[in-house]
Structure 1
Amino acid sequence: MVEEARKWFRPMARVGYAARGLIYLVIGIFAALAAIGAGEAMGSEDALQVLLSSGAGGVVAYLLVAGLLFYALWRLIQSGFDTDSHGTDAKGLAVRAGLLVSGVTYAALALYAWSSVRGDGGGGGSDGGGGVAEYLAGFVGARWVSGGLALILAGVGIAHIAKAVRERYAKYIEAGPDAMRYIHPVAKTGLVARGIVFLILSFMLATRAMRGGGGTPGSKEALEFIQSLPFGWLLLAGMGVGLLAFALYSFTEAAFRRINVEDAN
């Protein structure tokens, strides 16, 4: 029975990677459009609303909900059972903490998508999950929690960039050398771009924690911060390209990522 569960879980986890790719595809496109003044930056919830209202059909909407839910579950399994052997040293625990945060975030996003599909309305911030996200946002708004989450996000951002530079992602991709020649530049560009977003979010959370401000920033706020910098339009355009690369990397993981759920003992 356990083996049967693993068999049906793997394809659903792949749907989850594809769902993440679709969300970042929309985020990347709108970031590039915002850079040239043809739109505004979006967060995960905004991107999800674009996808759900695209007229692609109810089946696609429910696949998105299921994909996000199973992706969240897979992240929690990776974190709790250490399926990728990150270990229990400081570095490994930091990576697993990032996986835990990712799992909770995508679970909230799945709940938000479900409420949108059912017509219950959205709410919350740019990357939350309806009423649940609002409750969590109030909790995360506490200074000590914001500070701790800022540290986790900083670690996740650095880990993304290190993963790109050292090509650590490659050991999880089951593809031949010919395919990897194309995957490497896409993966590196995408991981660095997403790592930068995490570092900006960490900085924003840490600043709010020190000032005692409320609210929880998301990817939309991070992109708007980039846009506000000198030559922000150029930086935002580059970030848009990077996030499009991350979307392609997510699709690559949907096809070739090793879903080693059997290691969750």
Structure 2
Amino acid sequence: MPAHAWPHWIAVAARMGYAARGVVYLVLGTLTFLAAFRAASHTGSKGAVRTLLEQPFGSVLVGLLVVGLAGYVFWRLIQAIFDPDGLGNGVKGIFIRLALLVSAFSYSTLALYAASLLFSVRLSGGGEEGGSGKAVVSALNGIFSLDTLNLALAAIFAGVAIAHWWKAFAGTYEKYFKADESKMQIIRKVSIVGLSARGLIFATLSWLLVLRFFDLQGEDSEGPNPGLKDALSYFQDLPYGAGILAGVGLGLGAFALYSLAEARWRRIETPDFGS
């Protein structure tokens, strides 16, 4: 492929990827909101894909989702390796680029899972999930002791939560959007709610890992590492859990709208591959 064609296809892949992420979170947010009223059960990202498959023309929808998720993984790798957003090689830039690599890995597992549903192939470890991030945990379990891994992941998730909240309230996401002021007024509201909700999910995962590190979860401390589904269960078990879960569902829906806004209006800077 000619070098001048790469920027176009990278941009297409990125926008398809943001749209696919938006669809996943839209389904997640809807199911989470309904679960607060016992009209559905809360689930993780793989459950959202299964729900999508059960809809009319579900195979077509999931097929498009697989293509979009593949585009998202490709874009995340481009961001992490070639740094088109100019994050740099400082501590902050390296941290964000490593997080982008982890994101690429997580969404690649979700894309493979969605593809396996289309072709009726059961992937190993494809049981009831708590989020695609568990694949990252499983990969690291063989390298680090469980206690060390739990504490390290708790710190990482806490950092990601803080980064989401900073992004939401400092408005650092705005520099990546190319939209007029009337649209940005809506995007700002959606971004604050959506990014805050996703930050809350990561903060809760961090807290669950801290509880596990100090062995405060009893028998649960011996089970699989917590994921999205576990975080939602934690919210549901709190006082006024139904209201909290409904709010989280709305927040995840807002993050879906934020992702869809990125698909339409995000500035996609691509590396210069030469002519």
Structure-2-length-normalised TM-score: 0.87
- CA deviations on 1:53-110 (whole Å, 9 max, x unpaired) are 2132544322211111221221222223332223333333332232222111101111
Residue in 1 that maps onto 2:93: 92
Q: 2:194 aligns with which of 190, 197, 200?
A: 190
Root-mean-square deviation (CA), in Å? Answer: 2.4
Structure 2 vs 1, CA of residues 167 and 247 (structure 1 numbering), >3 Å: closer, same or farther? Answer: same
Alignment equivalent of 1:126, drawn from 122, 130, 137? 130
Within-5 A mapping of 1:56-67 = 56-67=57-68
Does the alignment pair 1:237 with 2:238? Answer: no
In structure 2, the gaps of 5 or more residues are 216-220
CA contact (8 A) 1:79 1:99 kept: yes
2: distance between equivalents of 1:70 and 1:145? 30
How much does 1:34 deviate? 1.1
Deviation string, structure 1 residues 226-260 (Cα, Å, up to 9, x no partner): 11111111111111111110111111011111221
The percentage of counterpart residues that share the same residue type is 42
Question: What amino acid does structure 1 have at the position aligned with 2:258?
Answer: Y
- Aligned pairs for 1:1-265 (under 5 A) are 1-121=2-122, 123-124=126-127, 125-128=129-132, 136=139, 138-139=141-142, 142-211=146-215, 213-262=222-271
The C-alpha deviation readout for 1:119-154, integer Å capped at 9, x for no partner, is: 113524232399x77953754883323322222221
Equivalent pairs, count:
264
**Which letter maps to 2:139?**
L
Asked which structure has the greater CA Rg, the reply is: 2
Say which SS state the counterpart of residue 261 (structure 1) adopts. coil
Structure 1 CA distance for aligned equivalents of residues 133 and 205 of structure 2: 18
Give me the whole-angstrom Cα distance separating, in 1, the residues matched to 2:95 and 2:184. 28
* Contiguous gaps of at least 5 residues in structure 1: none
Which stretch of the first structure deviates more once superposed, 96-105 or 19-28?
96-105
Distance 2:193 2:148 in 1: 33
Whether the aligned pair in 1 keeps the contact of 2:4 and 2:273 (CA below 8 Å) is: no
TM-score by length of 1: 0.90
User: 2: distance between equivalents of 1:263 and 1:222?
Assistant: 41
Which residue identity is paired with 1:136?
Answer: A
